């Protein structure tokens, strides 16, 4: 591919769009992603770009990610994208491999990542959370949807870290979640509560919890969170589905970590 042989000025903005992923493989990954960052000679400044904000979004059209060097140019929880220095689109959902997100997390230089924003339908599996993201020492805020939250809770469960002394997401302070399903059959509230309490014990608490457009979320749930999180922001929207929304009927056994269950 041509990209590995290009030299970029310091203020370069890179936009890559792939309309067919029939040829997506290890060689393509190395050429398209790694070559953009890993060779400092490709940039006229002393170091390659540093990713401080990353947004991953998937849908019927495929997968995209955006990267910003300056957290102020993006805004932690603004919907506007600003001007990312890297835009990468995979526009062929039928041929986008399931491991595209793990590959991106493995290839991109994320050691200075401070903000991670996932689309509501974007799924990061538990192995990716644990292997590539949970050890990041600058990641302070995460925005995610239901399935990625379920996978995150699985990755930070006591069984997942029973033999490790390190804390997962050591500086994480803010969690923003949207479209979370707090239903009877599939309620993550107990996993969230357990994780928040565990972080408190280790003196790395989640200080801000933001909940928007959640299903079957009620005042009793909010009171549970307020007891263990310093700042809880809720849009007070109580969306309902057919799974049932009785807060009183929930139990610890209702918590499921399988996003394909039910």
Question: Following DSSP, what letter does each residue of 210-236 receive, concatenated?
Answer: EEES-BS--HHHHHHHHTT-SEEEE--
pLDDT at 200 over 80: yes
Main-chain phi, psi angles of 73, to 5 degrees: -75, -20
Give strand pairing partners of 176.
143, 210
Residue 133: pLDDT over 60: yes
Specify the pLDDT at position 88. 78
Q: Which residue has the tokens 């050591």?
A: 170
What average pLDDT score do residues 108-125 get? 91
Measured torsion, CA atoms of residues 104, 106, 108, 114, in degrees rounded to the nearest 10? 100
150: tokens are 């379920």
CA separation for the pair 241, 239 (Å, rounded) = 7
Q: What are phi and psi of 211, to 5 degrees?
A: -125, 120
Whether pLDDT at 13 is above 60: yes
CA distances from 239 to 47, 215, 236 (A): 47, 4, 9
Q: Residue 74: its pLDDT value, please? A: 47
Answer yes or no: is pLDDT of 122 > 50: yes
Q: Name the nearest CA neighbour of 70 among 88, 86, 89.
A: 86
Quickly state the pLDDT bin for 7 (edges 50, 70, 90): low
pLDDT tens-digit map of 51-75 = 899 999 887 777 888 888 876 644 4
pLDDT at 170 over 80: yes
Region of 216 on the Ramachandran plot (φ > 0 left; ψ -120 to 50 alpha; else beta): left
Kindly state the DSSP code that residue 33 receives in the 8-state scheme: I
Provide the pLDDT confidence category of residue 79 given band limits of 50, 70 and 90.
Answer: very low
Asked if pLDDT for residue 102 goes beyond 90, the answer is no
- pLDDT at position 254, please? 40
Is the pLDDT at 118 greater than 90? The verdict is yes
Model pLDDT, residue 183: 81
> Band of the pLDDT at 18, cuts 50, 70, 90?
low
Q: Are 259 and 123 in contact (CB under 8 A)?
A: yes
């Amino acid at each position: 591919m041509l990209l590995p042989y290009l030299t970029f000025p310091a203020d370069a903005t890179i936009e890559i769009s792939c309309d067919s992923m029939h040829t997506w493989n290890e060689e393509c990954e190395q050429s398209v992603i790694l070559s953009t960052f890993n060779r400092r000679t490709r940039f006229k400044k002393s170091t390659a770009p540093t990713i401080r904000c990353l947004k991953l979004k998937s849908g019927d059209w495929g997968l995209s990610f955006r990267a910003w060097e300056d957290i102020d140019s993006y805004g932690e929880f603004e919907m506007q994208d600003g001007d990312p220095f890297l835009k990468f689109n995979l526009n062929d959902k039928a041929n986008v491999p399931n491991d595209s997100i793990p590959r991106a997390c493995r290839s991109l230089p994320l050691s200075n990542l401070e903000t991670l924003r996932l689309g509501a339908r974007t799924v990061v599996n538990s192995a990716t959370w644990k292997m590539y993201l949970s050890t990041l020492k600058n990641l302070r805020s995460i925005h995610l949807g239901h399935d990625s939250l379920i996978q995150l809770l699985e990755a930070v469960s006591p069984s997942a870290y029973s033999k490790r002394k390190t804390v997962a997401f050591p500086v994480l302070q803010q969690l923003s979640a949207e479209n979370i399903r707090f239903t009877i059959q599939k309620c993550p509230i107990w996993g969230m509560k357990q994780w928040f309490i565990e972080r408190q014990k280790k003196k790395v608490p989640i200080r801000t919890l933001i909940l928007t457009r959640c299903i079957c979320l009620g005042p009793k749930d909010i009171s549970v969170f307020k007891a263990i999180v310093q700042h809880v922001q809720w849009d007070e929207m109580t969306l309902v589905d057919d799974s049932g929304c009785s807060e009183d009927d929930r139990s610890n056994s209702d918590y499921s970590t399988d996003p394909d269950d039910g």
